[in-house]
Amino acid sequence: VKAGPRRILVLNGPNLNLLGQREPEIYGRTTLAEVVARLEALGDELGVAVEHHQSNHEGELIDRVHEAMAEPVDGLLVNAGAYTHTSIALRDALLGAGLPFVEVHLSNLARREPFRHQSLLADAALGVVQGFGPLSYELGLRALVALLPPR
Amino acid sequence: VKAGPRRILVLNGPNLNLLGQREPEIYGRTTLAEVVARLEALGDELGVAVEHHQSNHEGELIDRVHEAMAEPVDGLLVNAGAYTHTSIALRDALLGAGLPFVEVHLSNLARREPFRHQSLLADAALGVVQGFGPLSYELGLRALVALLPPR
Amino acid sequence: VKAGPRRILVLNGPNLNLLGQREPEIYGRTTLAEVVARLEALGDELGVAVEHHQSNHEGELIDRVHEAMAEPVDGLLVNAGAYTHTSIALRDALLGAGLPFVEVHLSNLARREPFRHQSLLADAALGVVQGFGPLSYELGLRALVALLPPR
Amino acid sequence: VKAGPRRILVLNGPNLNLLGQREPEIYGRTTLAEVVARLEALGDELGVAVEHHQSNHEGELIDRVHEAMAEPVDGLLVNAGAYTHTSIALRDALLGAGLPFVEVHLSNLARREPFRHQSLLADAALGVVQGFGPLSYELGLRALVALLPPR
Amino acid sequence: VKAGPRRILVLNGPNLNLLGQREPEIYGRTTLAEVVARLEALGDELGVAVEHHQSNHEGELIDRVHEAMAEPVDGLLVNAGAYTHTSIALRDALLGAGLPFVEVHLSNLARREPFRHQSLLADAALGVVQGFGPLSYELGLRALVALLPPR
Amino acid sequence: VKAGPRRILVLNGPNLNLLGQREPEIYGRTTLAEVVARLEALGDELGVAVEHHQSNHEGELIDRVHEAMAEPVDGLLVNAGAYTHTSIALRDALLGAGLPFVEVHLSNLARREPFRHQSLLADAALGVVQGFGPLSYELGLRALVALLPPR
Amino acid sequence: VKAGPRRILVLNGPNLNLLGQREPEIYGRTTLAEVVARLEALGDELGVAVEHHQSNHEGELIDRVHEAMAEPVDGLLVNAGAYTHTSIALRDALLGAGLPFVEVHLSNLARREPFRHQSLLADAALGVVQGFGPLSYELGLRALVALLPPR
Amino acid sequence: VKAGPRRILVLNGPNLNLLGQREPEIYGRTTLAEVVARLEALGDELGVAVEHHQSNHEGELIDRVHEAMAEPVDGLLVNAGAYTHTSIALRDALLGAGLPFVEVHLSNLARREPFRHQSLLADAALGVVQGFGPLSYELGLRALVALLPPR
Amino acid sequence: VKAGPRRILVLNGPNLNLLGQREPEIYGRTTLAEVVARLEALGDELGVAVEHHQSNHEGELIDRVHEAMAEPVDGLLVNAGAYTHTSIALRDALLGAGLPFVEVHLSNLARREPFRHQSLLADAALGVVQGFGPLSYELGLRALVALLPPR
Amino acid sequence: VKAGPRRILVLNGPNLNLLGQREPEIYGRTTLAEVVARLEALGDELGVAVEHHQSNHEGELIDRVHEAMAEPVDGLLVNAGAYTHTSIALRDALLGAGLPFVEVHLSNLARREPFRHQSLLADAALGVVQGFGPLSYELGLRALVALLPPR
Amino acid sequence: VKAGPRRILVLNGPNLNLLGQREPEIYGRTTLAEVVARLEALGDELGVAVEHHQSNHEGELIDRVHEAMAEPVDGLLVNAGAYTHTSIALRDALLGAGLPFVEVHLSNLARREPFRHQSLLADAALGVVQGFGPLSYELGLRALVALLPPR
Amino acid sequence: VKAGPRRILVLNGPNLNLLGQREPEIYGRTTLAEVVARLEALGDELGVAVEHHQSNHEGELIDRVHEAMAEPVDGLLVNAGAYTHTSIALRDALLGAGLPFVEVHLSNLARREPFRHQSLLADAALGVVQGFGPLSYELGLRALVALLPPR
């Protein structure tokens, strides 16, 4: 039997390591480390353990999802960045892992370029939160924890 | 000068009066009155006053947005239901009112029929929360309050 | 338990109040009152009670469908006019009401403008009758009564 | 001068010989012979003579339409099955014959695969009845007889 | 016989009541009352009586067009706002009324969002004037009066 | 070695047996027999033997093309009627036979319905003649004979 | 400093020299000379000097726009005829010249062939007037003069 | 009860009778008789009885599928040739027969003309083998036999 | 009254002056002068006077069509070259002139690049002849002369 | 000179390491190790040496293809998983390597989501085998070995 | 035999005569004369003779290409301006001339309006240089000279 | 402060390590090492330091761009190979790095497969050079150096 708090994996995709530096007029000035710290604090409040992984490599993100099956992780909070729109392989990994996940985005994709309007992950997710900057992650975590199936 | 707590108008579109009755496998069993009660409670917690209006009439929703300009309301939480996908007029009203708003949906539109994948409101909204049932409203209210511009 | 004959609601959408006056080369010269009278007579013959509502207001049609859930009505005969092609909200109301309905049209939509070739209601209906003028209603009523589920 | 009752040709396209056997969850359990028998009975009631032809061969259906010009037949009740969506040649035959016809379908095509949503015959027909199982034929026959031009 | 000056109905659609307030960088600072006053004055100059109706309700606009048939009105000047792009029902009402009308827009729709490039009314109108702010109405009135058929 | 005049097969597709009867405002009043007679006469003048085959059956047209390979025929004049737009199989037969052919049409397809604007045969043909009524066949025969490769 | 009345160049594109002769059921019976005469008279009334140039040559129209920069002309009234739909080069010339212009059409393009529904000039124009025959020019001139920036 | 080996029907569509003659650079030089002989030999090896039918007639192929239901045949190996891309009727026959089938093609359709990229049969098949010349049939037969449901 | 033989104007568009030199594998080695000579000879045979004009300038071709109205010419044989696919203005000129014309092409456009598959002139022409090299002109002339309306 | 048996590289793309675990209703319960073992056994039977590589990393798959050029490998059996639909880079690697390969899929892609209907590799492959579960690999290996060019 | 340096024709299309004046925020402030002077200087350095022609007339540009065949010119540097996107005739002239050419643009077309994203010339060119202002011409000249075939 | 020459990073995407080996009829016979050597020599001439990185891994290319921000590099010369058409993530990295870059391609993409006609990077680049083989890199380097902003 699983003991201890439930485990949530926060998965960040390409270029999110630049958060706070890259195009701040779109993505804001909070760094990824600060986002993760807030999520860890919120996780404490909600009684879940938050882990984090960021990669610019599609394959590494897939590998990390596969590992999450074995650990086991209870749910994922996913901002796949640009791979949201191009990676069927990541979608397959998430579906294959059979773990509930919530999709989040810092920016409101509906205001971005047309090639960002379509998500290959969204219909596999529980739901989507987008447009609120780092707050999107926190709201997504709240949703994920609230909707985790009972053990 | 404005005194008292900020005012948030929750606007619900067509068929949401049936919430809890209509297609519960999609929309759940919580009634609209229960959703509103939760939002009022959360509003108290967040220090904002929550008002609510539901209508099946596109024109009445537009009229209500216009009234919100004069009262004045500080922000809107909008679930326009099917008008999300067909009402340029409601979009115009929201843009014309110049008030910040958050778009919410009970269901994950990405899992629904193709004609529900496109929102005419989303790029005018601060952001979008969808797929978490009544919780979508609560998360949307948190986001809206957090992002209200300072008075 | 329900007593008395089954109740059928005939719902007519925008501009159908003009029937017999408006574009008679397309819609014929029979008035709406005459159509309703024929349906009432046919209803007597088939052992059902026929009620009728026409409105140019999308919201009013939705309200009327909602009321039909409570009365209760046993089935609907729907000519949504132009809203056939634009109203996802009316579709949602019909699906939400969970009542069987038949879609009818006076004219043969396949001969009309391209924006009339697509119906947002048809795949939610039992079936469709179109192109036979007022006779479309009568045949639709026959089909609806024949396919009503047993009480 | 023509004497005797008017003649109606019921034309059934490919695979309709399997009716009652093939995919009964879609097409029901009534056989084609039973459908024809019902139409003959209804024809008696309406004062018309009903003939029937079924073929899996596009060319044979076209030949049969050509023969109908000479007999002469007064109108056709057509369920072209899959040829509804692919046969411009059958459309040409029907238009070339210059005979009024009604298009019928057992299933509600709006609920079927996308390649069944478009009919190449419908705009050449008087009208369409679809979705009511074998009843579609009966309603179609009523419509056809009602709309036959006077001799 | 009709006596007195010809009657022109100016019909304004959703959000036009906000004129002068809403998005003035697009729609200018003239109010709707001022526009109507100018049209009344121009009507006097051109020898026609100008009436005005604005509504945010699609159904109410349709009702008003129907009433115009009976009064009778001689022609309409129509700015249907957002309903220009979504209301087949209003189009049907205008065609059904059989009254000549001119379509006007304050802004140049070709410079707006793609969903505003298509008008469902334009091919039913005598012609279109767009892009000149309140002057569009005045020019449209001139055109309408010049092209009214002789009594 | 082949002796005697070259052999040309005129192949006519569905509904062309009705020529002169069917939709004369489009196809004219000359019968197919008259067209063939003119082609035989023109063949005599040009020194070729003209044979003719018409069928409403796609499969029979394909069979006839296959036979032409063995006889051997030197070239084909093809009016595939509606199969022009739907029969990849006939295209394959013509390409498989490896015989030169000219495509002809009585009407100018560019003036017809959109589904007649595309030919599945044209890029496999030497060239196309369309729009001149029965004269299209005669001009097509002239072109075919002129372009036959030397024996 | 510029003295004298402002100068307006009326630019007419291909085939407009045939006005009054060509397809009068579409374009009416007024000749181009008459249209220009009316515009000159209206120009006098409005206090502007009206010049005119018509050409069937795309390049010549572009050259004329370039010359207008130097003269200088204060604004253009443009009916580019068929080049409205095909000439990016004329669009570039008008944008390059940096002069305000109004687009006019005799016919209501929304009633014409689909390839006339799109204008390559409209979003570069102040606005558009179409459908009122020669009156379109006069209304366009009024709009242009009213919207000319102050010297 | 069924005795003897299972029966497999090999169904070949239009122009496949020309195999070995027609366009050998695409389809190779093996004749259809040779292909069938190889399949019969392989059938012996795999313990199934192989029957064969080829036709250029869509209707005849459909008839043959219907007969297969009654014989009964245990599975089909189908190369529908050009009808792969145009025959919804053949698809309906195969689905209606309810027999498992494998789709095979001599050539690799992905290298052919765009109109050959889409198969109307593939999603009804167990699977597809394409591109290996006559070997495609043999591999398809192996797959079909391996996947036949137990008696 | 018109005396003398009927006059046919052969109009050739851009790059056809290079005929015989440019891309001979597509267009052959006959020069334009030779084509015109053959047409003049054929014109003599058919009792019509053949004139010729070639230009690389769209505007000049339009001017020439306008002149043809006045001369008057009885019909045109048009190979508009690349303008076939891009010139709405030339189409307008031909329609405006109200003269019958036949469209011809040296090559078979169905075998060319996709942007050559669509003709802006074809539905305004009597008919089309394409793919036979210089013979296309001769056949086109025969068709045009045969279909000239009686004087 | 190359000695020993020919070498075949089996290349598996993202998520195929989960085979037998992930979505077994689609992909079955056989593990990748079992598939590889079967291929090795079949390789022995067919006289070829089978090697295997699986990766979730697009770049690693490309690297592996490049290495195959040098070893040298004689042919590849490729199931690129989701990269089948998104990786032009892998396509380029396979084309660049100049080695024959066969594309295989466990599931029948025609029954899957629309974004899996298109393969970026298929037209570069010898052929495709799909839909037969692990058997697809075995049949693909048979095809590849049979079609390897002679040394 | 040709003596002297190779000849390069620089061809500039519509509105490029305005260079330095028109929309300098897009096209910069260098004039066309200055660009040509730089190219002549660079030509001296590279050992080629540079000639220049600019026209706003599509036909004149085509004529100039034809002349280049005879002079003979050895290669062209082409900035066709807006005709890049609309002139199949200029494409035909360049292909017909059979001379190597390089396509250049001042601005980066990928950043411009969608109708400028497609070039009708590019696949006929050796290559393309765009986005570097006047430097595009110089780099294009370097490329052209480097790739001229040996005499 | 930065000292020494400016630093240019040449970034090469997937399969470019095969340059000179892979498909030489498209990409030529120069190796990547030779290309880099030429660029280093040209860099010396232009006074910039040239570094190089090639990878088949999308993630590694992104990582390398991120590192370039810190070093700092002054500009990039990018041939992303197939990732040009599929990698929004690389686009984001380049935009996020905020460094000027030039896009280059060996082949003329307009002559390649349709899926290579669209670049996801081009509108983020200063400009594009394509089609000149290894010379594209040299011209791109010249452009990049010329357009580097002053330190």
pLDDT digits (tens, 9 = 90+) for B115-130: 999 999 999 999 999 9
Note the pLDDT of residue F1: 47
| I150 or H147, which is more confident | H147
* pLDDT top residue among G151 and D7: D7
**pLDDT tens column, D34-79:** 999 999 999 999 999 999 999 999 999 999 999 999 888 999 999 9
Q: What does the pLDDT read at residue A28?
A: 80
Q: Say whether C108 and D122 touch across the interface (CB within 8 A).
A: yes
- When pLDDT is averaged across residues F40-62 and rounded to a whole number, the result is 98
C-alpha distances (whole Å) from H37 to each of D38, E113, H52, H81 are: 49, 65, 10, 20
* Mean pLDDT value across chain E: 94
CA-wise closest residue to K101 among L128, L28, G87, L108: L108
Which subunits count as partners of chain C given 3+ CB pairs below 8 Å? B, D, E
Q: Is B100 on the interface with A (CB under 8 A)?
A: no
- What ipTM does the predicted assembly reach? 0.94
Question: Residues 6 or more apart from I39 whose CB is under 8 A from it?
Answer: I10, I50, I52, I77, I137, I138, I141
Task: Taking residues H55-59, report their average pLDDT.
Answer: 98
Of F108, F122, F135, the CB nearest to I146: F135
Average pLDDT along chain G: 94
pLDDT band at residue G2 using 50, 70 and 90 as cut-offs: low
Highest-scoring range by mean pLDDT, E26-35, H25-34, K60-69: K60-69
B14 and C89 within 8 Å at the Cβ level: the answer is yes
- Which band of pLDDT confidence, cut at 50, 70 and 90, is reported for residue B2? low
What residues of L are in contact with residue K128 (Cβ under 8 Å)? 108, 110, 128-131
Q: Which chains touch H (3 or more CB pairs under 8 A)?
A: D, F, J
Give the tens place of pLDDT for each residue, B46-92. Answer: 999 999 999 999 999 999 999 999 889 999 999 999 999 999 999 99
Q: What is the pLDDT of residues D5-23, one digit of tens each?
A: 999 999 999 999 999 887 7
Q: Does H55 touch chain D (CB under 8 A)?
A: no
pLDDT in tens, E47-93: 999 999 999 999 999 999 999 998 899 999 999 999 999 999 999 99
Answer yes or no: are the C-beta atoms of K83 and G86 closer than 8 Å.
no
Of chain A, the percentage scoring pLDDT greater than 90 comes to 87
| Partner-chain contact E129 G126, CB within 8 Å | no
| pLDDT at F143 (0 to 100) | 98
Higher pLDDT, H6 or B26: H6
Question: Which of B59, B60, B66 lies at the smallest CB-CB distance from E18?
Answer: B66
Whether the pLDDT of residue I101 is over 50: the answer is yes
pLDDT at J1 over 60: no
Q: Which helix (H) or strand (E) holds F50?
A: strand F48-54
Give the amino acid at F78. Answer: V
Q: If DSSP codes are grouped into helix, strand and coil, which group holds residue I106? A: coil
Residue D144 C-alpha, separation from nearest chain H C-alpha, in angstroms: 26
Banded model confidence at residue I27, pLDDT cuts 50, 70, 90: confident
Give the pLDDT confidence score for residue C4 in this predicted structure. Answer: 85
Q: At E88, phi and psi to the nearest 5?
A: -70, -30
Per-residue pLDDT band for E1 (boundaries 50, 70, 90) equals: very low
> Quick one: tokens of L41?
């020599």
Q: How far is L24 from chain A (nearest CA, A)?
A: 30
Structure confidence by residue, pLDDT tens digits, D71-122: 889 999 999 999 999 999 999 999 999 999 999 999 999 999 999 999 999 9
E-assigned strands of chain K?
6-12, 48-54, 75-79, 101-105, 128-130
Q: Is A148 left (phi over 0), alpha (psi -120 to 50) or beta?
A: beta
Specify the pLDDT at position D1.
47
State the nearest Cα–Cα gap between B22 and chain C, in angstroms. 5
pLDDT at E2: 59
**Active-site residue A66, yes or no?**
no
Catalytic residue among A66, A83, A105, A137: A105
* Contacting residues of D for H98, CB less than 8 Å apart: 22-23
β strands within K13-84, DSSP E = 48-54, 75-79
Integer CA distances (angstroms), H53 to H23, H48, H80, H118, in order:
22, 16, 11, 24
Q: For J94-118, b where at least 16 C-beta lie within 10 A, e where not — what string? A: bbbbebebbbbbbbbbbbeeeebbe
Mean pLDDT (whole number) for F106-119: 96
Spans in chain C with pLDDT lower than 50: 1
Rounded Cα gap, residues I57 and G75, in angstroms: 28
Name the least confident of B18-27, G30-39, H29-38, L96-105: B18-27
> CB of C127 within 8 A of CB of C102?
yes
L32-46 pLDDT per residue, tens = 999 999 999 999 999
Query: What does the pLDDT read at residue L1?
Result: 47
Contact L7, J88 (CB under 8 A): no
- pLDDT tens digits for range E89-133: 999 999 999 999 999 999 999 999 999 999 999 999 999 999 999
Interchain CB contacts (distance < 8 Å): G and I? 57
Residue J27 pLDDT exceeds 80: no
- Residue in chain K closest to L107 (alpha carbons) equals K127
Among B28-32, G28-32, K94-98, which range has the highest average pLDDT?
Answer: K94-98
| B130, B142, B147: best to mutate for the A interface, most A CBs within 10 A | B130
Distance CA E34, CA G27 (A): 35
Q: CA distances (Å), F68 to each of C100, F98, G97, in order? A: 58, 10, 66
Size of the E and G interface in Cβ pairs below 8 Å: 76
Q: What is the mean pLDDT of residues H117-143?
A: 97
Q: Which chain A residue lies closest to L123 (C-alpha atoms)?
A: A113
**For L58, which of J58, J69, J93 is closest by C-beta distance?**
J58
Q: Is the CB of residue C95 less than 8 Å away from at least one CB of chain B?
A: yes
* Per-residue pLDDT at G26: 76
Specify the DSSP element, H or E, that contains F39.
Answer: helix F32-46
State the Cα–Cα distance between residues K35 and K138, nearest whole angstrom: 9
The band of B1, judged by pLDDT with boundaries at 50, 70 and 90, is very low
